[in-house]
């Protein structure tokens, strides 16, 4: 079944066959989007309440599963369970009842983040997750599907052996959480990493097990840093064809990663290039609002897929008033760049199933101070791809100094500050008179005889009413200026996801326009630099809503 609509209907029939009530929320979403213009149309979020970290994404028997930290009762953090939704295409979703609820002494204060692993040979999925126990300390637990014949894996059993890993031997019980997907070494033993902080240093503790129940801690961590504190939500996976591995850690409100070599025989990991916080310029998945991410390997399409939690950028009071908080980034494919120095991220190709009306132009000059509206699309719900050419680089602006902080540079030279080449880019979620606008743009400089491209996202004028927590984000973009500078931006009501240089730098922002909503929203290409730039190609599409189905009968959780 390749047709996603047929697949969604098939999933609904399965649920009905199990005696479970379902309802489509497409029409309800129409009403929600009218009443709450910040609700996403094609980025994943549950129908209501609080959501944070993505947990345990996997593909099992042709069905994609996404679990996530979820409060079933309110739009603020608390009562943390494992929300559960399923899909055939990572775009359209059926929202199920939570897979794990905090009910046992080892997780009574919350079923916190973790991962799913498919046990080799058995093709059986299992979950490792952190429980906050009755003492408030963090322990690692195991859960398994109750019925493998259920294609949606709706019910999960907690192991009678829980907890499996305890905060002993110098581990602070407040800093011991978020187990990774496990992997099997050449000796047949399973390995898993747990995020921690030992002696004030962030680290990924390594555990091994022959049976996935009895786990032993390795003599040392897989990797650690004396320049960071606690590592949350670690992730570890191979990338590329030359044996490179990615180690990701979440700290300081961002997701940082390093590339390295891994010896499966000795479990030794060595960073190739810059280690965590060893340079002003750091490797991050995303330079905006993006945290606690998780990847999984999609064996059906031979790709690695990444999700990140995109937080709200206004206040908790706003969350309560809306009745929901948090959403997911659109799923991204993750690849190693040709230079093997960084990752490339790109929206998975299934997003193109939602593309509708298209407008296009090419070889268009934008002179200094000009703004060009991109009409003919639904600008509050759009996918825009544009490539710029910058001629005559001899006149480029020079910046002095040594290592520069790109975010600080974006603050100093925001979308309103004229340069030579730049700022130029896109104004999205813009009101009729441009009093509201979110600018995603580039600037070109020369420093030490080399050209530097700065990519920024400026939310300082995104709303007349709501001030976001961080007004400007920035990143340096490693591109060849003899070629084009590309930008792709997904706009979805209150989220703006941008991919510069074909995915070399990503910036996600949250904005809450008062005027630029629904049909009153616009997209423009702009140039506030003193020199003209060329749009070599621009294509933009209106985006349809994802299809959503919600289970509405509450079941009792099951335990072993």
Active-site annotation, residues: 53
Q: How far apart are alpha carbons 83 and 103 in whole angstroms?
A: 15
Phi, psi torsion values for 35, nearest 5 degrees: -85, -30
- Read off the tokens for 25: 């929320």
**Nearest 10 degrees: CA dihedral of 40, 44, 112, 160?**
150
Q: How far apart are alpha carbons 68 and 113 in whole angstroms?
A: 8
Q: Are strands 190-198 and 176-177 parallel, antiparallel or unpaired?
A: antiparallel
CA 556 to chain CA centroid, nearest Å:
31
Burial class from Cβ neighbours inside 10 Å (0-12, 13-18, 19+) for residue 426 reads: buried
- Read off the tokens for 428: 């999205």
The region, left, alpha or beta by phi > 0 then psi within -120 to 50, assigned to residue 49 is left
CA 420 to chain CA centroid, nearest Å:
34
Give the single-character DSSP code of 26.
Answer: H
**DSSP secondary structure string for all residues of 429-477:** EE-TTSSS-EEEEEEEEEETTEEEEEEEEE-TTS-SS---S--EEEEEE
Q: How far is CA 256 from CA 252, 279, 307, 539, in A?
A: 9, 12, 14, 32
Q: How far apart are alpha carbons 217 and 101 in whole angstroms?
A: 27
- Read off the tokens for 185: 């070494």
Reduced to 3 states (helix: H, G, I; strand: E, B; else coil), residue 269 is strand
Cis peptide before 163 (omega within 30 of 0): yes
The residue among 75, 25, 35 whose CA lies nearest residue 52 is 75
The residue among 129, 73, 124 whose CA lies nearest residue 99 is 129
The residue among 543, 495, 501, 278 whose CA lies nearest residue 403 is 278
Burial class from Cβ neighbours inside 10 Å (0-12, 13-18, 19+) for residue 208 reads: middle
128 near 179, Cβ under 8 Å? Answer: yes
- Read off the tokens for 239: 């990338």
Give the single-character DSSP code of 284.
Answer: B
CA 374 to chain CA centroid, nearest Å:
27
The residue among 363, 413, 418, 421 whose CA lies nearest residue 392 is 421
Q: How far apart are alpha carbons 121 and 501 in whole angstroms?
A: 41
**Nearest 10 degrees: CA dihedral of 321, 322, 326, 328?**
180
């Amino acid at each position: 079944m390749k047709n996603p609509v047929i697949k969604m209907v098939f999933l609904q029939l399965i649920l009905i066959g199990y005696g479970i009530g379902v309802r489509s929320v497409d029409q309800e979403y129409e009403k929600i989007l009218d009443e709450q213009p910040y609700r996403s149309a094609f980025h994943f979020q549950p129908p209501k309440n609080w959501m944070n970290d993505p947990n345990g994404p996997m593909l099992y028997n042709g069905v994609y599963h996404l679990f996530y930290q979820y409060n079933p009762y309110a739009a603020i953090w608390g009562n943390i369970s494992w929300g559960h939704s399923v899909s055939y295409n990572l775009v359209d979703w059926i929202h199920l009842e939570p897979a794990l609820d905090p009910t046992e002494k080892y997780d009574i204060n919350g079923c916190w983040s973790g991962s799913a692993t498919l046990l080799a040979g058995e093709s059986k999925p299992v979950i490792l997750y952190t429980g906050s126990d009755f003492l408030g300390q963090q322990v690692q637990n195991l859960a398994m599907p109750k019925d493998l014949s259920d294609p949606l894996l709706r019910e999960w059993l907690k192991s009678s052996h829980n907890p499996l890993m305890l905060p002993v031997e110098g581990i602070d019980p407040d800093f011991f959480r978020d187990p990774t997907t496990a992997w099997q070494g050449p000796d047949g033993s399973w390995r898993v990493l747990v995020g921690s902080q030992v002696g004030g240093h962030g680290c990924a503790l390594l555990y091994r097990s022959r049976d996935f129940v009895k786990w032993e801690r390795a003599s040392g961590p897989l990797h650690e840093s004396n320049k960071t504190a606690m590592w949350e939500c670690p992730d570890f996976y191979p990338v590329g064809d030359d044996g490179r591995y990615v180690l990701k850690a979440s700290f300081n409100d961002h997701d940082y990663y390093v590339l390295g070599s891994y010896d499966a025989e000795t479990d030794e990991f060595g960073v190739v290039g810059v280690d965590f916080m060893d340079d002003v310029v750091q490797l991050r998945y995303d330079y905006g609002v993006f945290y606690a991410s998780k990847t999984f390997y999609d064996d059906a399409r031979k790709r690695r897929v990444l999700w990140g939690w995109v937080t709200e950028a206004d206040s908790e009071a706003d969350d309560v008033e809306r009745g929901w908080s948090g959403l997911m980034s659109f799923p991204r494919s993750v690849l190693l760049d040709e230079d093997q120095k960084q990752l490339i991220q790109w929206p998975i190709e299934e997003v193109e199933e939602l593309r509708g009306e298209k407008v296009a132009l090419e070889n268009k000059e934008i002179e200094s101070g000009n703004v060009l509206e991109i009409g003919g699309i639904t600008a509050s719900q759009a996918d825009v791809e544009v490539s710029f050419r910058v001629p005559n680089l001899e006149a480029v602006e020079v910046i002095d100094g040594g290592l520069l902080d790109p975010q600080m540079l974006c603050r100093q030279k925001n979308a309103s500050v004229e340069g030579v080449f730049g700022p130029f880019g896109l104004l999205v979620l813009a009101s009729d008179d441009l009093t509201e606008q979110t600018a995603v743009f580039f600037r070109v400089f020369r420093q030490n005889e080399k050209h530097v491209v700065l990519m920024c996202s400026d939310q300082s004028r995104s709303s007349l009413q709501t001030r976001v927590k961080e007004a400007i984000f920035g990143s340096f973009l490693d591109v060849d200026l003899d070629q084009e500078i590309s930008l792709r931006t997904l706009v979805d009501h209150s989220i703006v996801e941008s991919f510069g240089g074909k995915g070399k730098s990503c910036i996600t922002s949250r904005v809450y326009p008062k005027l630029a909503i629904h049909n009153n929203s616009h997209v423009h290409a702009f140039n506030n630099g003193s020199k003209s730039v060329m749009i070599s190609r621009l294509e933009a599409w209106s985006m349809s809503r994802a299809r959503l189905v919600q289970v509405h009968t509450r079941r009792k959780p099951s335990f072993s």
